[in-house]
Amino acid sequence: MNAIISATELASDLAGPRPPVLLDVRWQLSVAKTAGEPVFDGRAEYASGHLPGAVHIDLDRELAAAPGAGGRHPLPGLAEFGAAMRRAGVSAGRPVVTYDGGQGWAAARAWWLLRWTGHPDVRVLDGGLPAWPGPLSTDEPSPAPGDFEPVPGATGLLDADGAAALARSGLLLDARAGERYRGEVEPIDPVGGHIPGAVSAPTARNTAPDGRFLPAGELQARFKELGAGGDTEVGVYCGSGVSAAHEVLALTVAGIPAALYAGSWSEWSADPRRPVATGPEPQ
């Protein structure tokens, strides 16, 4: 099963006998430093218009625990995540499609969490809401509660020690922008740079200008050039485990399994015991 779905395919599935649950996960990274700066409100965006039947999911509250030692977006508690998914109507025997405003990061976070906790049929709308050609709705649905019970471990997950080890023994990709990897700027976390041994692989290069993923063959070629392929074990991190999920999704489209370091740079850089590399090279 493909990990992404086109808007045309989704429209067909919604009209079919087994329509998927739709999760609207609009979100964007906020780097506001002072009070009064605008902060993106996913709930307001949802209320202004969403795919008919879609349920709003809050990334910061339902797809992550509170910020702390585990990073800016630690994994949510299983009980809380399961409750949010059941509230949205998610069941183990029904397909799920996630979407966001087009960047794909938040939708991929929901996709990864559902896959990691054992949901067998979840996909991301390629290109997000801007790719949808049909009408939008302002009605808020009240779906029947789902039965999904999350069981972790269906896909790969790394902690800080595991990420450090993989950077030495396999391929650890850094999904952030190149200037953050090199340590030239760091707008959010306390220290710039990257995990020693990690390879720069900005997730933005996996998509076309309209937000859709590049064809699988092009993604395969890109990741092969970065060192993926064969028996090489692959892991991905970013700033806080959100855009890295998008890169794991791109790798999945390319047919390459990859683990996610959920704590990512926000966890790593907050620990003074962890080494930091700067510059364009992995070491």
Catalytic residue (one of 238, 244, 250, 260): 238
243: domain CATH number is 3.40.250.10
Q: Are residues 126 and 9 in the same domain?
A: yes
Domain assignment of residue 277, yes or no: no
Among 131, 166, 199, the domain-final residue is 131
217 CB-contact burial (10 Å; exposed 0-12 / middle 13-18 / buried 19+): exposed
Instruction: For residue 78, give its domain range.
Output: 4-131
Question: How confident is the prediction along the chain (283 residues), in pLDDT tens digits per residue?
Answer: 799 999 999 999 999 999 999 999 999 876 544 444 445 678 999 999 999 999 999 999 999 999 999 999 999 999 999 999 999 999 999 999 999 999 999 999 999 999 999 999 999 999 999 999 999 999 999 999 999 999 999 999 999 999 999 999 999 999 999 999 999 999 999 999 999 999 999 999 999 999 999 999 999 999 999 999 889 999 999 999 999 999 999 999 999 999 999 999 999 999 999 999 999 999 8
CB 223 within 8 Å of CB 216:
no
How many domains, in total, are found in the chain?
2
Known catalytic residue at 238: yes
Domain assignment of residue 148, yes or no: no
CB 258 within 8 Å of CB 234:
yes
Q: Are residues 120 and 172 in the same domain?
A: no
Domain assignment of residue 143, yes or no: no
pTM above 0.85, yes or no: yes
Q: Are residues 94 and 173 in the same domain?
A: no
Among 97, 131, 165, the domain-final residue is 131
Q: Are residues 103 and 183 in the same domain?
A: no
| Helix/strand/coil (H/E/C) assignment for every residue in 246-259 | HHHHHHHHCCCCCE
